[in-house]
């Protein structure tokens, strides 16, 4: 992913996107085109604890996920280790020149996205795969659910686990793209942020929050580049 310096986010900012939007696009090599599957990808318990206690940098850590073994993509992945790309999408929205209040102007699309590259390794059937399923449920229900307790369904999980393929990705590189109207003057950026904040779309309001966090970090950036420790 091409990331101009002014749009490059910190490791902590990239981690926040991964945690907030765990539905990733997994891309691996294929013929005649790459294979891609949309699936939830989460931090293992131990990795989450390590990142909470230290620098929030995914590099050198692991992510886990799972998919249906009937997926042709899994047939390729199950054969061994593979280079992999995980794409995470954060909040985004179209910016009409009407928002700027002046001309000439051009429309654009503000967005946040994170690309994670590393080595994917399929996990053994049975308990290790079941552990990935339980951890995924724990994370997703805790962040997005209604307090459902999985205990009563663990026997059901054991019955369906033979049809599930689980994997882990050893993370080597992380690129965060935070295109949040940084190229505009402060007054126009604030006008754009207010436009998104007033939207009835939750995704747009999240984008406005991201723009606000970026603006609050001006003192910790140089020429638009996030410094280590910013979030």
Q: Which helix (H) or strand (E) is 197 found in, with range?
A: helix 186-197
Tokens representing 7 are: 């749009």
Task: Please say whether the beta carbons of 116 and 65 come within 8 A.
Answer: no
The residues near 102 (Cβ < 8 Å, ≥ 6 apart) are none
Predicted local distance difference test score (pLDDT) of residue 217: 60
Query: What are the chain's domains?
Result: 5-185 (2.30.110.10)
40 sits in which H/E element: strand 35-42
Mean pLDDT on 181-192: 94
The answer, yes or no, to whether residue 219 has pLDDT greater than 70, is no
pLDDT at 222 over 90: no
- Global pTM value: 0.90
Taken in order 7, 226, 42, 20, the sign of the CA dihedral is: negative
Give the start-end residues of each E strand in 50-197: 62-68, 82-95, 108-122, 164-179
């Amino acid at each position: 992913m091409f990331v101009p310096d002014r749009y490059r986010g910190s490791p902590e900012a990239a981690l926040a996107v991964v945690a907030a939007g765990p539905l990733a696009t997994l891309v691996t090599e294929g013929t005649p085109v790459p294979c891609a599957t949309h699936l939830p990808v989460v931090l293992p318990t131990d990795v989450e604890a390590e990142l909470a206690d230290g620098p929030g940098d995914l590099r050198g850590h692991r992510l886990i996920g799972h998919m249906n073994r009937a997926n042709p993509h899994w047939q390729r992945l199950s054969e061994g280790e593979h280079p992999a790309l995980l794409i995470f999408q954060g909040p985004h929205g179209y910016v009409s020149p009407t928002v700027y209040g002046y001309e000439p102007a051009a429309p654009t699309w503000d967005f946040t996205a994170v690309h994670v590259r590393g080595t994917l390794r399929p996990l053994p059937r049975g308990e290790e795969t079941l552990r990935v399923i339980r951890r995924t449920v724990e994370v997703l229900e805790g962040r997005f659910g209604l307090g459902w307790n999985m205990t009563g369904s663990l026997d059901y999980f054991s019955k369906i686990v033979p049809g599930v393929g689980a994997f882990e990705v050893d993370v080597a590189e992380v690129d965060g793209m935070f295109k949040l109207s940084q190229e505009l003057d402060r007054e126009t950026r604030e006008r754009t942020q207010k436009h998104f904040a007033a939207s009835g779309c939750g995704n747009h309001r999240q984008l406005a929050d991201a723009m606000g966090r970026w603006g609050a970090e001006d003192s910790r950036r140089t020429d638009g580049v996030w410094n280590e420790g910013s979030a």
